[in-house]
Structure 1
Amino acid sequence: MTLEEKMAYAHKVGFTALDVSCWPRQNTRDFSGSDIDVENLTDEDVTNIKNNQKKYNITFSSLAYYDNMLDPDETTRNAYAKHLEAVIKAASRLGTPLVGCFVGKDQTRSLTENFDEYEKIFTHFVTLAEENNVKLMIENCPMPGWEKDGLPGTISYSPELWDEMFKRIPSKSIGLNFDPSHLDWLHIDYLQALRDYKDRILHIDAKDMIVDENKFSYYGIYGKKLNRTQPEDLGFWTPVIPGLGDINWSQFYNVMKEIGFDDCFSIEHEDRRFAANNAEVEKGLEFSYNHLNPIIHDFK
């Protein structure tokens, strides 16, 4: 689908916002998209996009670009940085308040060295964001597919690491794209984290997770090591659409209201059972919309 087709579809279903994928037009990432070519964005493009937003009554919750910003290869890291800068500037031109990204990790360096590099690199990104009236949000995914044996491929997935992130860069122009599903399989209390980091939560991903505790007891906290079917196959967890997993969304939304969060609640669709084609993807999105919408209305 084109971006306009996605806006039309979203409006038809009842969605009011989109988290817009903004990877480079040419890239090697799996599951990436490029709904907006930010590096070649013209004034005419901006006008057309804004006109379509009005036409379909759709806002953009964020522009999304998730790559390893601490990649050990300097050429690759510089290319990622250049593109993230373009995403930030595009968000400003489009009036989009948030840019979503990962921190990532240089697997050849220690954790302290990674945080030193994070502080240097992201201080620059945050300054640029502030100059463009945009905020950066970091999704709390460990990215086990980026590291050998399924170990964490980012330095930004737990409350311990969030504390270090915000200690290093205290600006309120950087915060979290809070995804409870990752905390769920890491056995971190996502409701308590929602309360504890309420001042740093800029955006919330509605994504669900099935955690098989019997398999967790078999594979252990580091997950499956043999016969993995794909890079993120740790053996005991499966991402699913909201409403088909372990998370009690009524309880979760109640805590969202408790902490005063009243911004975008964005369905992140990573359920492989609803991914074969556009019709299946739509089926998954609409199931989750119909699951979450009554919860939100009941609590108003």
Structure 2
Amino acid sequence: MDFGFLTGCLQGMTLEEKMAYAHKVGFTSLDVSCWPRDNSRDFSGSDIDVENLTDEEVEKIKSDQSKYKIKFSSLAYYDNMLYPDEEVRKNYSDHLKAVISAAQKLNTPLVGCFIGKNQTKSLSENFDEFEIIFTDFVKYAEDHNVKLMIENCPMPGWQEDGLPGTISYSPELWDEMFKRVPSKSFGLNFDPSHLDWLHIDYLQALRDYKDRIFHIDAKDMIVDDKKFSYYGIFGKKLNREHPEDLGFWTPVIPGLGDINWAQFYDVMKEIGYDDCLSIEHEDRRFAADNAEVEKGLEFSFNHLNPIIHDFK
């Protein structure tokens, strides 16, 4: 099984430097952040300028991959593909297609994205738009020998009220998603941490959607039951410290939260999953600078590596 991390957590480093670091630690893959160069999203990055990718750059990247023995598990670009403003949405759409084209050039099998949500329309209308837009995206991906996957994050930080900013965060919504776009080239980048704070059984979901799980994000979560009882299921509404602050849950690096990774890995083996496990580092306690980020990545590497490689 390949083991890596999403590259956007390390800032101010070249992609080659990130590959060298990953190889030094013992990682075998990277989920490469490919947001636009002009971008201000938190927890993002632009390690490949996909819109201006030249043949020479492709060969350099492939040479570095060989040098550092690093696979690319996915190219990552997560934005609101149903954004209400048509011009903004087109920019997002054009960039996603550029990411897909880059994935083909780099022999990367997967591209990760969000669906998002148009908050001015009903859920039914959102799914109607999703069906049109993502049928096109998935066809474009198939034409480029790439599979498209959705991460199951609700993105409450996209809405002032903290309610979901995507239509793809639960098994109920996945069923509608796959009914509307049934292609086997369309699946999930499965993140158990979001299911945990939503009080969804992530182990059962792992079993139930095994045929649609293309990639797994290793991210952990602390859920404070006392604060949950205070704020309720819709979360904190007043005096939020940052857009994702719903009061009762905190994203942390794997090994410092509620997820039992040994148990999770047993279910991964049960369903025959043997692709990539990729750390998504969003722990604000290990984010002051790259040295702190690396501490977090290496802690999680040392926690997960013995589990996923059955070291005794």
* TM-score (ref. length: structure 2): 0.95
> How is 1:25-174 mapped onto 2 (pairs within 5 angstroms)?
25-174=37-186
SS at match of 1:122: helix
Distance 2:261 2:179 in 1: 31
**Amino acid corresponding to residue 54 of structure 1 in structure 2:** S
Aligned partners of 2:109 and 2:146 also within 8 Å? yes
Distance 2:186 2:177 in 1: 9
Distance 2:167 2:311 in 1: 35
In the other structure, the counterpart of 1:197 is: 209
Are 2:23 and 1:11 equivalent residues in the alignment?
yes
Aligned partners of 1:205 and 1:266 also within 8 Å? yes
Aligned partners of 2:43 and 2:282 also within 8 Å? no
In the other structure, the counterpart of 2:14 is: 2
**Amino acid corresponding to residue 254 of structure 1 in structure 2:** D
Aligned partners of 2:187 and 2:213 also within 8 Å? yes
Q: Count how many residue pairs are aligned between Structure 1 and Structure 2.
A: 300
Distance 1:111 1:58 in 2: 40
The Cα shift of 1:299 comes to 6.9
SS at match of 1:148: coil
In the other structure, the counterpart of 1:288 is: 300
**Amino acid corresponding to residue 183 of structure 2 in structure 1:** S
* TM-score (ref. length: structure 1): 0.99
**Which sections of structure 2, spanning at least 5 residues, go unmatched?**
1-12
Distance 1:195 1:3 in 2: 35
**Amino acid corresponding to residue 119 of structure 1 in structure 2:** E
Distance 2:244 2:255 in 1: 22
Distance 1:73 1:292 in 2: 42
**Amino acid corresponding to residue 82 of structure 2 in structure 1:** L
The Cα shift of 1:201 comes to 0.2
In the other structure, the counterpart of 2:5 is: none
> How is 1:178-257 mapped onto 2 (pairs within 5 angstroms)?
178-257=190-269
Distance 2:222 2:265 in 1: 19
**Amino acid corresponding to residue 18 of structure 1 in structure 2:** L
Distance 2:74 2:305 in 1: 21
The Cα shift of 1:108 comes to 0.1
The Cα shift of 1:231 comes to 0.7
In the other structure, the counterpart of 1:175 is: 187
* Higher relative contact order, chain-length normalized (CA < 8 Å, sep 6+): 2
Distance 2:26 2:273 in 1: 21
Distance 1:297 1:226 in 2: 44
In the other structure, the counterpart of 2:8 is: none
**Residue of structure 1 aligned with 2:285, choices 250, 273, 281:** 273
SS at match of 1:256: helix
Aligned partners of 1:254 and 1:299 also within 8 Å? no
Distance 1:262 1:67 in 2: 28
Distance 2:127 2:40 in 1: 26
The Cα shift of 1:27 comes to 1.7
Aligned partners of 1:91 and 1:98 also within 8 Å? yes
Aligned partners of 2:23 and 2:70 also within 8 Å? yes
**Amino acid corresponding to residue 159 of structure 1 in structure 2:** P
Once the two structures are superposed, residues 223-259 of structure 1 have per-residue CA deviations (whole angstroms, 9 ceiling, x without a partner) of 0011110111000000000000000000000000000
Aligned partners of 1:126 and 1:136 also within 8 Å? yes
Distance 2:72 2:310 in 1: 25
Distance 1:299 1:257 in 2: 15
Distance 2:195 2:66 in 1: 36
Distance 2:309 2:113 in 1: 30
**Amino acid corresponding to residue 37 of structure 2 in structure 1:** R
**Amino acid corresponding to residue 90 of structure 1 in structure 2:** A
